[in-house]
Chains A and B, each alone.
Chain A
Amino acid sequence: MFAKILVPAAKGINNKTGSWRSGKKPNFLHKNCTGCRMCYLVCPEGCIFGSKKKYDVNLDYCKGCGICVEICPVKDIVMIEE
């Protein structure tokens, strides 16, 4: 007897890990954004996307660590309860 222990190789992106999030999520206000891209660069999950002065987060992968909120020089991102 065998259990299903072998799976076809897949990219990690197929595994949506957003359900592991801490309970809080970043909220992008889109008011004071200067387009410095710091949030995009520091996100450990690489799940912030966008361009120019409009960025957002892909909640399928965001873990709610809040680093983007800390780094934002114009406080244009806030953590909110889910």
Chain B
Amino acid sequence: MKQFLEGATSIAKTVALCRPGVIAAYPITPQTHIVEELSAIVANGELKAEMVNVESEHSAASCILGAVATGVRAFSSTSSQGLLLMAEVVFNIAGLRLPVVMCCVNRAVSAPINIWNDQQDIMTLRDAGVVLFFAESIQEACDLHIQAFKLAEDPAIMLPVIINIDGFVLSHGYEAVEFPSQEMVDKFLPPYNPPFKLDPQNPLTFGALVGPEWYLETRYAIHKTMLDEVPNKIKQIAEEFTKMFGRTSYGLYEKYKLDDAENIFVSFGSVAGPIKDVVDSLRERNEKVGLLRIITYRPFPQEIGDILLKAKKIIVLEKDISLGATGALYSDVITSLYISAHRNKVSCLPKILGYVCGLGGRDISLEEIEDLYRKEDLVESEFVGLKKENLGSFI
């Protein structure tokens, strides 16, 4: 049944369908509505779960770490500074191989304080060993949550998953969302049955101190799982989801009008929506253009380089920047292109234009995106829509 709902409410309702046993969160804009709605669902008795009101995001993450370690499905959600406060624990969750699922409502990072959307917050946890999904629409965000639990809890994977949704654009936007029935979700997502858990009857030590003779292998195991097992499992789960719920789920990435495209946009998150509009309008004028939308950003799909190798020009558009270097996606695209070229023995690489847009919620217009398409000069993470009058001395 379709319902016209706010993004945060839709995600909360979907998470409730996944039957988490423990939910812990601390309110932070623009994430608050998700846990607000979940706490109402729990208080109304519609979901049997422990709703833990914690004193900080560090505690929220610690709480769900503990819950999942005891074999209970758990969920949390946060944004920006909250995610940064969770950072230490998120590394631990991944290191302990605990299948925590979280929603990160992407927001700019202070200072200056800014509550609007960009994707800088999650880039700080890019290397934590977490599977990262980026949703384009509210419907996709909901669908990814159901899939995330199945992926994380797979006995061969056992890694945390964070679903990223753009703050306000998706969290506060309204969309007609299709909700599956409880029976269907139960069928798709069986109860969490961990291969190991904290149990007084069978005591285990989690996260003990290891010396140099052990640590290297713990990292290698996560890396290998990310590279070899997660991508296939994501594809498999997306296919299963599509078959069962009758809605296409793309899994690793979406190829939008790429078949004969010479110029390819690469992006992720909700900005893919306007880019698709630009692609459509350019296609009407017989321009060979398409969009490669990354859904799974970590592990970074290895096919990306192969797909892009056929292009003449690549335009990377992202809402984050590694200050002093380049955008994160830009460097990943270049890396995977170089690897693909080397593997396929291709010596000529396509032209790559890297752009950073929308930091701190700055709007990007269709005209601006089309302007980027017209440009030919190579740029490394150039800022789009910069206001010269805002720059100058301190005061």
Contacts and interface: CB of A to CB of B under 8 A. Distances in A.
Given A7-B208, A8-B203, A8-B205, A2 B97 contact: yes
A2 B205 contact: no
Q: How large is the interface on B (under 10, 10 to 19, 20 to 34, 35 or more residues)?
A: 20 to 34
B47 interface: no
Interface in A4-28: 4-10
Interface string A56-73: 000000000000000000
A3 B205 contact: no
B158 interface: yes
A1 B203 contact: no
Nearest to A8: B204
Interface in A25-52: none
A10 B205 contact: yes
Contacts of A8: 203-205
Given A1-B228, A2-B97, A3-B214, A9 B205 contact: yes
B392 interface: no
B225 A6 contact: no
A13 to B, nearest CB: 15
Contact of B220 (A3, A7, A9, A10): A3
Contacts of B225: 1-2
A2 B204 CA distance: 16
A10 B205 CA distance: 8
Contacts of A2: 97, 158, 221, 225
Contacts of A6: 196, 204-206
B221 A9 contact: no
Nearest to B217: A3
Contacts of A7: 204-205, 208
B186 interface: no
A3 B203 contact: no
B229 interface: yes
B96 interface: yes
Nearest to A2: B221
A1 B205 contact: no
Contacts of B210: 5
A3 B218 contact: yes
Contacts of B203: 8-9
B207 interface: yes
Contacts of A9: 203-205
A11 to B, nearest CB: 11
B343 interface: no
B224 interface: yes
A1 B224 contact: yes
A10 B208 CA distance: 11
Nearest to A9: B203
Nearest to B196: A6
Nearest to A6: B204
Contacts of A3: 214, 217-218, 220-221
A9 B202 CA distance: 9
B178 to A, nearest CB: 36
A66 B205 CA distance: 32
Contacts of B196: 6
Nearest to B215: A3
A8 B208 CA distance: 11
Contacts of B218: 3, 5
Interface string B271-300: 000000000000000000000000000000
A10 B203 CA distance: 9
Contact of A5 (B96, B224, B229): B96
A82 B97 CA distance: 42
Interface string B200-243: 00011111101000100110110011001100000000000000
9 tightest A-B CB contacts, nearest first: A9-B203, A3-B221, A3-B218, A1-B224, A3-B217, A1-B221, A7-B205, A6-B204, A1-B225
15 contacts: A1-B221, A1-B224, A1-B225, A2-B221, A2-B225, A3-B218, A3-B220, A4-B214, A5-B206, A5-B207, A5-B218, A6-B196, A8-B203, A8-B205, A9-B204
Given A5-B207, A7-B205, 16 more contacts: A1-B220, A1-B224, A2-B225, A3-B214, A3-B220, A3-B221, A5-B208, A5-B210, A5-B218, A6-B196, A6-B204, A6-B205, A7-B208, A8-B203, A8-B204, A9-B205
